[in-house]
């Protein structure tokens, strides 16, 4: 299956007004430099539990008002109108220091052909839970369907625990997912499962810090995160 790789460049500019930051982006295709209209940008405020979503205009521009002292997750994507084609959403995290940095950022959005009936969904665990429930197994089954339909597809599943969980929780989640794929034949050879434990936390979380993070941050780290490595 042919791989589509339109890459977008996101140019960021910043202007501060007291505690609020005007966070402006322009999204374009790297190869053609054509602006991408109607791409969505979602800012999730991890400090206050709020979110805002805006769309780029016909020139690829969009602007968000952020608070310098808060932490955010930024999701950028595009709903493709082409049948069987989607953009893989790109997400990254910002804290107050990063919001104020006067730098530009380049972000690649990957556009791929998919089976419209198959979606790769992360698995989120309740605190302390290690067994796979029905929804978790459905997510893993959909992964096998995607692998069957896309011979070049390879996937990594990154398994984590949050800072408040015991050290062996991530290992038990990792083992449950490995056991699921152990009996799935050759398709499972294109799935790599990695146990990150409480290292490389998402959402700017640091388990070695005395900081008490919002519950949403911990929730994001009780996860088996699906990543497309090759398509």
Report whether pLDDT(118) > 50: no
Q: Indicate the number of domains in the chain.
A: 2
1 belongs to a structural domain: no
Contact 72, 66 (CB under 8 A): yes
Report whether pLDDT(81) > 80: no
2 belongs to a structural domain: no
The set of residues, in sequence order, having a beta carbon less than 8 Å from that of 211 and lying 6+ positions away, is none
14 belongs to a structural domain: yes
157 and 207 fall within a common domain: yes
pLDDT band at 191 (very low <50, low <70, confident <90, very high): very high
State the pLDDT at residue 32: 66
172 and 215 fall within a common domain: yes
63 belongs to a structural domain: yes
What is the pLDDT averaged over residues 121-144?
91
136 and 222 fall within a common domain: yes
Contact 1, 151 (CB under 8 A): yes
Domain membership of residue 182 as a residue range: 118-230
Of the residues 112, 144, 174, the one at which a domain ends? 112
149 and 180 fall within a common domain: yes
95 belongs to a structural domain: yes
188 and 220 fall within a common domain: yes
Could you tell me the CATH number of the domain that includes residue 92? Answer: 2.60.40.10
102 and 140 fall within a common domain: no
Report whether pLDDT(103) > 60: no
The set of residues, in sequence order, having a beta carbon less than 8 Å from that of 182 and lying 6+ positions away, is 188
Among 20-34, 133-147, 165-179, the minimum mean pLDDT is found in: 20-34
93 and 125 fall within a common domain: no
Q: Which of 63-77, 123-137, 138-152 has the highest mean pLDDT?
A: 123-137
State the pLDDT at residue 104: 53
Looking at every residue in the chain, the average pLDDT score rounds to 81
27 belongs to a structural domain: yes
pLDDT one-digit tens code per residue, 205-214: 899 999 999 9
Neighbour tally for 231: CB within 10 Å: 20
- Residue keyed to tokens 């997912």: 177
| Higher per-residue pLDDT: 70 or 103 | 70
Ramachandran area for residue 60 (φ above 0: left; ψ -120 to 50: alpha; else beta): left
74 and 148 fall within a common domain: no
Q: Is the dihedral of CA 134, 138, 139, 141 positive or negative?
A: positive
Closest CA to 54 of 24, 95, 96: 24
Among 53-62, 104-113, 172-181, the minimum mean pLDDT is found in: 104-113
DSSP per residue, 26-77 = EEEETTT--B-TT-EEEEEETTTTEEEEEE--TTSEEEEEEETTS-EEEEEE
pLDDT band at 162 (very low <50, low <70, confident <90, very high): very high
Could you tell me the CATH number of the domain that includes residue 198? Answer: 3.30.1330.60
Of the residues 95, 112, 129, the one at which a domain ends? 112
| Higher per-residue pLDDT: 159 or 228 | 159
Report whether pLDDT(16) > 50: no
State the pLDDT at residue 192: 95
Using CA atoms, how far apart are residues 173 and 170, in angstroms rounded to an integer? 5
Of the residues 84, 112, 140, the one at which a domain ends? 112
76 and 157 fall within a common domain: no
* Alpha-carbon dihedral 66, 68, 71, 72, rounded to 10 degrees: 20
What is the pLDDT averaged over residues 47-75?
87
State the pLDDT at residue 37: 83
């Amino acid at each position: 299956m042919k791989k589509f790789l339109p890459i977008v460049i996101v140019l960021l500019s910043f202007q501060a007004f007291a505690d609020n930051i005007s966070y402006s982006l322009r999204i374009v295709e790297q190869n053609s430099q054509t602006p991408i209209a109607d791409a969505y940008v979602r800012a999730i405020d991890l400090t206050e539990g709020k979110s805002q979503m805006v769309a780029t205009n016909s020139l690829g521009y969009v602007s968000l008002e952020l608070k310098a002292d808060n932490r955010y997750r930024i999701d950028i994507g595009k709903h493709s109108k082409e049948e069987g084609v989607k953009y893989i959403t790109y997400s990254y995290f910002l804290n107050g220091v990063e919001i104020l940095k006067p730098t530009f950022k380049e972000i690649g959005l990957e556009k791929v052909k998919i089976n419209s009936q198959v979606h790769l969904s992360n698995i989120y665990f309740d605190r302390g839970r290690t067994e796979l429930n029905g929804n978790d197994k459905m997510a893993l089954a959909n992964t096998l369907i995607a692998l069957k339909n896309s011979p070049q597809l390879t996937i990594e599943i990154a398994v984590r625990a949050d800072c408040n969980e015991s050290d062996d929780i991530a290992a038990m989640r990792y083992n449950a997912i490995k056991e699921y794929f152990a009996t799935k034949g050759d398709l499972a050879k294109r799935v790599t499962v990695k146990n990150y434990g409480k290292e490389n936390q998402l959402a700017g979380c640091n388990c070695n810090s005395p900081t008490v993070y919002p519950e949403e941050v911990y929730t994001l780290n009780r996860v088996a995160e699906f990543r497309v490595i090759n398509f």
